[in-house]
Amino acid sequence: MRLLIVDDHAEVRDLLLRSLRGEGHEVAVAATAGEARERLATSGMDVIVLDVALPDGSGIDLCRELRQEGTSTPVLLLTAHASVAERVAGLDAGADDFLGKPFAVSELRARVRALGRRGPALRPLVVRSGEARLDFRARRAERASTEVPLTAREWSLLELLAARAGRFVSRGEILELVWGGEADATASLEVLIARIRRKLGEGVVRTMRGHGYALVVD
């Protein structure tokens, strides 16, 4: 796979460069958001490993820019502050996975392989489901042509479901990606699903008992 490592710490870049090249990957590195943009402008990548804290900006902001430009390459965010708020911000920006610092290189390699197998996510800009219309770029939701306010976490969950094109997403994966694996988030997920159905319509989200949820797409 072709990988781009974006991190301003030379030790981290060198460690990941040696480790990932040792697995047979083609690896490019960048120390700043600006360098990352230059790399991506000249060559396509299969996975981007992106540090949140960069000297010339936020990795979350860079991820958001890439998604707005139509880049669908999977992004793994590296963060020293793996708070729920930061994870939600990253998901809203279009990130696919998170890994907190310090991390085990073996886990990073496994997450990179998993993202590479998944491939570019299909991120629909507009989805219709019954009376509901979801515009993910504008963050605008409507029901029967009337705007409906959604929270950041509701958008994160809906975008995750929409990216799977109607397939069921397991509760475990939702809890990991939307709540950061919080142990007590199961009840919060059920509340969030109920709230989305109340706002957008009962038939917008389907439940597979004991497994997870799917977005019903027209």
| Claim to verify: residue 67 and residue 89 sit in the same structural domain | yes
| Claim to verify: residue 139 and residue 104 sit in the same structural domain | no
Give the pLDDT confidence score for residue 35 in this predicted structure. 94
Give the pLDDT confidence score for residue 56 in this predicted structure. 93
| Claim to verify: residue 97 and residue 140 sit in the same structural domain | no
Give the pLDDT confidence score for residue 70 in this predicted structure. 75
| Claim to verify: residue 43 and residue 138 sit in the same structural domain | no
Instruction: Give the mean pLDDT of 1-9.
Output: 93
Contacts of 114 (CB under 8 A, 6+ apart): 97
| Claim to verify: residue 60 and residue 103 sit in the same structural domain | yes
Q: Is the pTM of this model over 0.85?
A: no
Residue range of the domain that includes 148: 126-215
pLDDT band at 148 (very low <50, low <70, confident <90, very high): very high
What is the domain count for the chain? 2
| Whole-number Å distance between alpha carbons of 160 and 74 | 13
| Whole-number Å distance between alpha carbons of 127 and 181 | 27
Angle value at C-alpha 112, between 111 and 117, nearest 5 degrees: 100
| Claim to verify: residue 147 and residue 200 sit in the same structural domain | yes
pLDDT band at 217 (very low <50, low <70, confident <90, very high): confident
| Claim to verify: residue 9 and residue 89 sit in the same structural domain | yes
Q: What is the pLDDT of residues 80-138, one digit of tens each?
A: 766 677 777 887 788 888 888 888 899 899 888 888 876 665 556 788 988 999 987 77
